Structure formats: structure tokens, C-alpha cells
Amino acid sequence: MHISVMICDDLEEERAAMARMVDSYGRRHGLAIQIEGAAGGEELLAQWAPGRWDLVFLDIFMPGLSGVETARRLRAADRTCALVFATTSQEHGLESFELQVMDYLVKPVAQAAVDQAMDWFVGQEAARLRLLRVGTEGEEDAETVRVGEVDYIEICRHTAVVRAAGRVYEVRRTMDALEEELNDSRFFRCHRSYLVNLDRVQQIDHKDFVMESGDRVPISSKCAAEARRRFQEWLLAKNWGM
């Protein structure tokens, strides 16, 4: 599992201490963690790009943009990254709730507190951060993609075509093998030749799933009723956290 982390704090020694604790957690748990740092909210937002960070640690009291305002602007652009506040005060509970902040670390932050936050993050995000091998079988450094970034998989002439994060990968594996490897409730076999990620579906239009990318994925006649049921259930679970 690969995790990208941003640590935003105006004090260099605080950033370095947090980075050491996050790195220590990664080494003890066999995780590949990439850590970046920013000295303020403005610097963080200037570095932001879609999907760049999985987890962001934010100091609340910083010159310029506060951690709360930085979180508000970041959350408006990125709904998926997890946020953790690190501060000397616990007076921002309401903002934490509104911004869907994952945890609240009180300074001076101890390794045990970071470990607990990381345990929760990994447990909650494990499915999204899982990797699917899309390189040639047997290659030591086979290319991988995040399962959550897969839009859909199509079988074309005995080759599985995986569409993920705007790229296309050809995989020499059967659909049954890929479906078993994914073993993920987000994926639905809507057609003999198509496996779709419900999390990337925008709507159902007649006999097609319309993806966020604009692609259309056909739904077979025998799967039509089940497709609508599964998609409605998935939307309900996604919107209400059921």
C-alpha cells in the first residue's frame, strides 16, 4: 500500500517531528509513505493537485491562512483526502465536523497519537488504497493502479482492458480472475464483457451506465433490474454512510 502525506505547519521543527513519527509508523507497518511539507496554507494550496495527497496534517494556528481556512479551501477542491488537525487548542470541534476532519491531535503530539490516527486512516481507507496489478504477470516490477481509480474493465478479444485515472491498460487475465482479485463491493458485473466501478458511475441512462469520464458502459438485459438496484443502494450508502 502506498500513501501520500502532506504535513502543513509554519514551524520547521514541528513539520520534521511529525514527518519522523509518520515515517516511523510506515516502517513498522510495512507501508510505503511519501511525505511532503508546507510552511503555510498558501504554500499547501499552491502545491495541490487532484489526488496528490491521501492524508493531510494541518496545524490550525499559522500566519496567513489558518489551518481551518486552509482545510475549508482544500475540502472545496478535494473531497477524498483525509484531514487531521494538529493544534494546542481543542476549540474547533464544529469546524472539524463541518470539514469532515478525521482526527484532532493536541500538541505536543506523541507517537502514540500519530499511530492511532494512522491506524484509523489505514483501516478506513484500505479499500481505496488497494492496488491492482496491470503489468505482465511474473514481472518483478509490474505496473499497478489503485483499485479506487479503476472506472471499468472491458474484455476485448481475450484481453482485459482496464480504464483507470484517464489511462488504458491491457491485461492478459480473464474477467473472472480480475473480479476475484478485486473482491470489492464497488464493482458490479453488468455485462458478460464489462465490470464497472459503481463509485465512478454518474448515472444510468436507458441501458448504459454513464461514467464520470463520460464513457458509457452497456448493461445487459438480464442485468438491468439488478444494475438499477445495486446503483441505488450504492448511492444511498455513499451519501448517507450506510
- Between 53-67, 94-108, 140-154, the lowest mean confidence (pLDDT) is in 94-108
Q: What angle do CA 217, 169, 173 make, to 5 degrees?
A: 85
Cell of 177: 480472475
Q: Sign (positive/negative) of CA torsion 212, 218, 220, 225?
A: positive
Bond prior to 63 in cis (omega within 30° of 0): no
Beta bridge partners of 195: 153, 189
pTM to 2 decimals? 0.64
What tens digit of pLDDT does each residue of 84-129 get?
998 876 665 545 555 667 788 989 999 999 999 999 998 877 767 7
What's the maximum distance between 2 C-alpha atoms anywhere in the chain?
61
According to the model, what pLDDT value does residue 142 have? 66
What number of other Cβ atoms are within 10 A of residue 171's Cβ?
Answer: 20
**Measured between alpha carbons, how far is residue 40 from residues 44, 47, 82, 99 in Å?**
6, 11, 18, 18
What tens digit of pLDDT does each residue of 61-92 get?
999 999 999 999 998 888 788 999 988 766 65
What number of other Cβ atoms are within 10 A of residue 157's Cβ?
Answer: 5
CA distance 242 to 236: 7
